[in-house]
């Protein structure tokens, strides 16, 4: 006969008392193994923020790394979007290739860059008016800023071309 050992944890007497450390570690391990947080909160009667704090404090490094919000540079986003628009990748392929957490993120990038393309094509007319010296300085600064933005866009597009040629 095989005896199964059941660990007994000290239960809380009231809401203000603390959880047993072994129980905390068991709960954290269950969440890391895939038990939904809502279930854990319901089963053990704890608050969401308590569970979040435990996961941050006692969770494994792998789990914490997976839960971090990743940030992608504009170049990475543009590379992914261009690859999808050119038909070299599907959204699913891009998700796995570039380790993006979900497809919704990529769809958001697609929408964002489509609207940027439209903005580039729209001609903005500036009405002619009498200029005073102060407005000339402001206009000069605005033009310098626009020039810097244009140079940055050109640099980004050249980088995209280089990446596409590789």
- For the chain of 166 residues, list the mean pLDDT of each consecutive stretch of 10: 52 70 88 86 87 86 70 86 89 85 88 74 61 75 91 91 85
Total number of domains in the chain: 3
The neighbour count for residue 38, using CB atoms within 10 Å, is 10
CA separation for the pair 109, 102 (Å, rounded): 12
Where do runs of H (alpha helix) occur along the chain? 21-32, 37-44, 48-58, 61-67, 74-85, 91-97, 103-121, 133-165
Given a contact cutoff of 8 angstroms between Cβ atoms, the answer to whether 23 and 9 are in contact is yes
Examine the domain organization and report whether 48 and 76 are in the same domain. no
For residue 84, which of 60, 69, 106, 56 has the smallest C-alpha distance? 106
Q: Of 28, 47, 68, which residue sits at a domain end?
A: 68
The reported pLDDT for the residue numbered 128 is 60
Boundary residue ending a domain (36, 53, 68): 68
Q: Would you state the pLDDT for residue 10?
A: 56
Q: How far apart are CA 153 and CA 142, in angstroms?
A: 16
CA-CA-CA-CA dihedral for 100, 101, 106, 107, to nearest 10? 170
Tell me, yes or no, whether 4 and 29 share the same domain: yes
pLDDT at 5: 46
98, 60: one domain:
no
Write down the pTM of the prediction: 0.41
């Amino acid at each position: 006969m095989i005896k199964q050992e059941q660990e007994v944890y000290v239960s809380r007497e009231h809401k203000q008392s603390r959880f047993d450390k072994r129980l905390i570690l068991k709960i954290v391990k269950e969440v890391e193994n895939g038990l939904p947080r809502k279930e854990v909160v319901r089963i053990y009667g704890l608050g969401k923020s308590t569970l979040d704090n435990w996961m941050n404090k006692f969770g494994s490094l792998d789990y914490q790394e997976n839960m971090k919000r990743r940030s992608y540079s504009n170049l990475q986003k543009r590379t992914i979007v261009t690859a999808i628009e050119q038909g070299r990748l599907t959204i699913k392929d891009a998700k796995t290739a570039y380790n993006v957490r979900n497809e919704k993120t990529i769809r958001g990038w697609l929408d964002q860059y489509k609207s940027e393309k439209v903005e580039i094509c729209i001609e903005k007319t500036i009405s002619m008016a009498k200029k005073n010296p102060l407005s000339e300085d402001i206009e000069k600064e605005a033009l310098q800023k626009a020039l810097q933005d244009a140079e940055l866009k050109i640099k980004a597009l050249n980088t995209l071309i280089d990446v596409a040629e590789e």
